[in-house]
């Protein structure tokens, strides 16, 4: 994946990682393209912040922030479900308490 492909897929969106393995891989990928946390000196490799919200963790790479899935949904973010390998993603749209999923393959 190139930096441009990464940016097109993930910047300006909330990226949901429902497992620690996905969070580790996604943050390592973001780190490889020069992204890091907005506050503090720790890199994405040193501090993953997955332990706070666990399966509800979302990352907003452009801003260098993370939060709970519901927060991003309430703020009308486009939520991308990260998949291992970064080769596919799901766009999640919140409709009240119901979500619809669209799967894209690259």
Locus of tokens 């939060």: 67
Give the per-residue pLDDT at 50: 94
Residue in the structure block whose two tokens are 């799967």: 103
What's the average model confidence in pLDDT over 49-56?
95
pLDDT tens column, 11-21:
999 999 999 99
- Structure confidence at residue 86 as a pLDDT band (50, 70, 90): low
């Amino acid at each position: 994946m190139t930096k441009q492909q990464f940016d097109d897929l993930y910047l300006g969106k909330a990226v949901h990682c429902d497992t620690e393995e996905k969070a580790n891989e996604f943050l390592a990928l973001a780190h490889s393209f020069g992204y890091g946390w907005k506050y503090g000196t720790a890199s994405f490799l040193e501090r993953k912040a997955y332990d706070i919200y666990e399966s509800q963790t979302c990352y907003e790479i452009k801003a260098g922030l993370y939060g709970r899935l519901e927060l991003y949904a309430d703020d009308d973010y486009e939520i991308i479900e990260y998949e291992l390998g970064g080769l596919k993603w799901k766009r999640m749209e919140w409709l009240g308490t119901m979500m619809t999923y669209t799967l894209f393959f690259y």
